[in-house]
Structure 1
């Protein structure tokens, strides 16, 4: 199977790229397998502090490669059984987006060109999404007579305004980066989203790695006030007076870069 995803790791930051630029990084079976394999590797990667996710070439991801998926026998192969929970809570289609949300470290998506359908859902799995000014986006599934089913609704809840999401899902219309930012699909806009994402990832990598992971667990928590308050206390109790927490305090007091240990 041809590789569809590259990973380069330096200084605790993984630079992950979709590598099918001739097809605008459209999702074929090999791309699904490559993204799932990348997430699986990164889940246990030693020393990992942050991830930047981007697409090579002219676009982030144009969504499903419909012709390729049809040729693969969609529905006949057990890999494509959408009811099977093959990845914990998710199926394989959902994992390529949901897996970035459940990854223990922060993920920053650098989005440019187009992010259509499944591509938009993959970007939405990131903690932060930085888009180039000319980026075109779409909740495109209705164009094909289907609904978003790659974890989009679970990922957009709390980020995207409900009435706007309904309109975009019902119509499949395109919208630009400025509208995407206003509605919550995009965190911010930058002329060079990949460079901006790498700068942010390196800043995150310079913080207490245990505290960063705890902060992501709290951000991912879906619970009532009582459970959330208790979870905050548990995470804080596990961090206080640990070597890395003490190092964060000492480095600030001594005005020097911290030296954290994984």
Structure 2
């Protein structure tokens, strides 16, 4: 049975067999980000964070493009209303502001998130995808750190994530030029994980495999790898020890071992 939810008329969430599909749903505008899209993304993230039955998430865009970036027309129309938008310096979500949270919330979710990128992910759209654990792209998809084209800098959390994916000089080149890279080049640079002819279908295959693993071990693995991406070695080593100690002998770990020994599929609650 599938549960369907819709947030701010921009983002849909469907949960089936413990896999959630989050879909940017503004195909007539190439899923460009307006204030309602930000709201929908945040609401979808909160909806998933509150659930303990979801074990993996697929993040995609409806139509021919993942996300074309900011809808500058909608923000320009709001420019005269000083109360319509919070100052970017205002921390509305812990360490982040609202746009930054649209990227970082996928890192904060306790389960793996797989971004399926068809068509392209430009500017803010790429930053949303950067928050995912894994990015699958078509070989001809267009990806770009496009903000310089508009006289801006990447400011939606991408600067937190990119240093863990690419060399500094590569980040600088793409940021300074704003040039598009094809999916195949994005994989070589580390901006994307791998090529898929049908990223959404492949993302569901991967998410289903992830959802079949020990749920407590998967959540521990995400916590540990998120810490490892930015912490000092002493913190990482202690996190390894704590997470492993908590897993050893718990019900999920025992079931994983028994299923392996008995040559059957594991059954997790």
Give TM-score scaled by structure 1 length.
Answer: 0.97
Partners of 1:147 and 1:47 in 2: CA distance: 38
Partners of 2:252 and 2:161 in 1: CA distance: 31
State the shift of 1:32 in Å: 0.5
State the shift of 1:100 in Å: 0.5
For the structure 1 residues 134 and 250, does the alpha-carbon distance in structure 2 shift closer, same or farther, using more than 3 Å as the test?
same
Q: What's the CA shift string for 1:56-104, capped at 9, x where partnerless? A: 0010000000001111238823643211111111100001111111111
Q: Secondary structure at the match of 2:9?
A: coil
For the structure 1 residues 241 and 112, does the alpha-carbon distance in structure 2 shift closer, same or farther, using more than 3 Å as the test?
same
Q: Secondary structure at the match of 1:9?
A: strand
Partners of 2:263 and 2:21 in 1: CA distance: 29
- 1:172 paired residue number: 178
Unpaired runs of at least 5, structure 1 = none
Partners of 2:142 and 2:178 in 1: CA distance: 12
Q: 1:224 aligns with which of 228, 232, 239?
A: 232
1:31 and 2:37 equivalent? yes
Contact 2:78 2:84 in 1 (8 A): no
- 1:149 paired residue number: 155
1:6 and 2:12 equivalent? yes
Partners of 1:51 and 1:163 in 2: CA distance: 32
Partners of 2:40 and 2:88 in 1: CA distance: 18
Q: 1:138 aligns with which of 138, 141, 144?
A: 144
Q: What's the CA shift string for 1:117-168, capped at 9, x where partnerless? A: 0000001100000001210111000001110000001011111121011011
Q: What's the CA shift string for 1:164-205, capped at 9, x where partnerless? A: 110110011111111111111100001000010000000000
For the structure 1 residues 78 and 210, does the alpha-carbon distance in structure 2 shift closer, same or farther, using more than 3 Å as the test?
farther
- 2:25 paired residue number: 19
Q: Number of aligned residue pairs: give it.
A: 261
- 1:249 paired residue number: 257
- 2:74 paired residue number: 68
For the structure 1 residues 79 and 246, does the alpha-carbon distance in structure 2 shift closer, same or farther, using more than 3 Å as the test?
farther
- 2:241 paired residue number: 233
The alignment's C-alpha RMSD in Å is: 1.3
